[in-house]
Amino acid sequence: MPLTWGESTSEVVVTENGIIAGATGGRSARPSYVPPHLRGRPQGASAGGGVSNNVDIAPKGSTGANPNAIAAPGPEANGGIATRTGNGSAWGAGSGVNHVASWGNSSGSGRGYRHGGRGRRGGWEREVNPFANDGPVAENIFEAENTGINFDAYEDIPVETSGNNVPPPVNTFAEIDLGAALNENIRRCKYTKPTPVQRHAIPISLNGRDLMACAQTGSGKTAAFCFPIIAGIMRNTPPGRPRGGRKALPLALILSPTRELTSQISDEAKKFAYQTGIRVVVCYGGAPVHNQLRELERGVDILVATPGRLSDLLERARVSLSMVRYLTLDEADRMLDMGFEPQIRRIVEQMDMPPAGERQTMLFSATFPREIQRLASDFLSNYIFLAVGRVGSSTELIVQRVEYVQDADKRSMLMDLIHAQSALAPPGQTSLTLVFVETKKGADALEDWLCRMGFPATTIHGDRSQQEREHALRSFRTGVTPILVATDVAARGLDIPHVAHVVNFDLPNDIDDYVHRIGRTGRAGKSGVATAFFNEKDQSLARSLTELMTESSQEVPGWLTNFATRASYGGRSRRSGGGSKFGGRDFRREGGRGGGGGHHGGYNGGGGYGGSSAWD
């Protein structure tokens, strides 16, 4: 029976044959909050529940795993049965997973564990399948959606590179030596060919070059930096490096500005590192630190963290950056903006991390204004600047509409939009709508009004606890509450599939934030709609908004053009980043330094995320 907003799904069991059946008998299962670091744990795993407390269910492995070993099939091929609750979440694969240990590899290291790794106390730990959440339940909710990437949605996207001796791009993943296990995970992710940012960034990174990459939202930036890191660690792990212990010694550090983005990058990295023997650990504020310390003690190769929590761990002497060979800053412009530059400088320059030139550094973002480039260049050595597509602008797959609406009429206009979007949705499908407001209080008030009007909604903003924020995102992603009211905490980089409509209930003060907001739809090469409510108090944004819409081949209302003509002051021009590319031009060129090249290639979407929540 098709799902509607007013219905809640019943307990669903997914068998190894992919059959979905309603649970019969017994009491119905109620989904409960599980922190990201415990999501791989089977449902019965607790004290006395048959699973030892010192057994780690998070993805594990040995750094000595043979990078050329053929990846074994996932749990779905080994008779595992996953039980899913009505919200579409799966906390882990069933107990039927066959775990095979390989006691040696072709290199003679004797440390290649195909399906797991050895814990700090010597016990065997099984590696959970990170693809378990991509099963039939999610596909049933969005039945007509392609869960892979639409690789043919973009053609002839311009790409510019600048720097010395830029490695040539690749056209297929087969041209890159990533190892059999990573190639198998790429296949599982349904990536058939690289996106433009991946085509250029992966060869640059594999050649050991530092990189500043500017690519529009939804362009596959997460994979662009994860693939080279994983391949590099598999190929060259420092001999004699302690894997576990009281002080963690990661080989790669990925920093991102928000808890949500950090958790999302970690989830993607675990998929890419599945059965490679590389261990990914995530650390962020708002979650119990002792659980994260326990994960670090078991060993870490790739650490994904927020700056605040990482600073805390460094002060506790529980993490050392002395062996970091790869440093990545995702949403780098946000981390170097808003007064947080000193915190990043302290981590990168004043701790024990190897200096630029001895480590490889990769900076990624959708916007790189000129002043941020100058700050970021301090962390890089002989770097290559990569600009993909219409950097700083939105994709043409997003239909942008601007409506003139007074504040008193915004709620009724929003109701009309939601009704229209629901009517356009195919039968049996849930259409997700993301609504951005200016204040936390406004978000709560709008959510309450929507619920009273019969529209299931939830909120995400900085005053909600981490548990509440994760529950809200999960509820929204699965369609339980198909309307999410958010402040800018959800704007940057969050990869929420199937968002059909983004509504700017309150417009932001900066065009950068508008770009990141509307980038939550039109992801992975699919189309989307973005509607903005505009009135006199937004006139400082009129000129830059008009430029953005014109550049993206959108229809600009005449009244908005009139506002733009009158707005001779206020509002930051989109062209402050250099030309019409808005931050997509290498600032070094202004001084006549650096060579470059231009390319054209196909583009696709793939993930990314961020936000402007509290730093933790």
Tell me the per-residue pLDDT of 346-380, one tens digit each, with 9 for 90 and over: 999 888 999 999 999 999 987 788 888 888 889 99
C-alpha span between 492 and 332 (Å, rounded): 11
Identical fold, 154-392 and 398-572: yes
C-alpha span between 276 and 240 (Å, rounded): 19
Find out whether 571 and 540 touch, Cβ atoms under 8 Å.
yes
Find out whether 417 and 531 touch, Cβ atoms under 8 Å.
yes
| pLDDT of amino acid 524 | 54
Residue 598 is given by DSSP the state E
Higher pLDDT, 9 or 493: 493
Find out whether 323 and 251 touch, Cβ atoms under 8 Å.
yes
What integer is the mean pLDDT of 212-239? 88
C-alpha span between 55 and 64 (Å, rounded): 20
C-alpha span between 481 and 155 (Å, rounded): 35
Higher pLDDT, 110 or 428: 428
- For residue 3, pLDDT over 70 is answered with no
Residue 49 is given by DSSP the state T
306-310, 337-341, 495-499 — most confident range? 306-310
Task: Count Cα atoms within 13 angstroms, Cβ side, for 547.
Answer: 23
271-312 per-position pLDDT tens digit: 999 999 999 999 998 888 999 999 999 999 999 999 999 999
What integer is the mean pLDDT of 141-149? 36
Task: Count Cα atoms within 13 angstroms, Cβ side, for 82.
Answer: 31
Using DSSP, state whether 400 is helix, strand or coil: strand
**Domain map (residue ranges) of the chain:** 154-392, 398-572
- The mean-pLDDT minimum among 125-134, 182-191, 497-506, 579-588 falls in 579-588
User: What mean pLDDT is reported for the chain?
Assistant: 73
**What angle is formed at CA 353 by the lines to CA 352 and CA 354, rounded to 5 degrees?**
115
Find out whether 306 and 258 touch, Cβ atoms under 8 Å.
yes
C-alpha span between 50 and 43 (Å, rounded): 11
Domain at 398-572, CATH class: alpha beta
Find out whether 219 and 395 touch, Cβ atoms under 8 Å.
no
Using DSSP, state whether 288 is helix, strand or coil: coil
C-alpha span between 275 and 559 (Å, rounded): 57
Higher pLDDT, 12 or 543: 543
412, with CB counted inside 10 A (0-12, 13-18, 19+), is exposed
What integer is the mean pLDDT of 319-324? 95
* Fold type of domain 154-392: Rossmann fold (3.40.50)
How far out from the chain centre does Cα 166 lie? Answer: 27
Find out whether 458 and 438 touch, Cβ atoms under 8 Å.
no
Find out whether 110 and 251 touch, Cβ atoms under 8 Å.
no
| pLDDT of amino acid 353 | 95
- Of the pLDDT bands very low, low, confident and very high (cuts 50, 70, 90), residue 33 is low
Q: Which has the closest alpha carbon to 194: 164, 173, 175?
A: 173
Whole-model pTM: value is 0.61
For tokens 């929507």, name the residue.
Answer: 450
C-alpha span between 412 and 419 (Å, rounded): 11
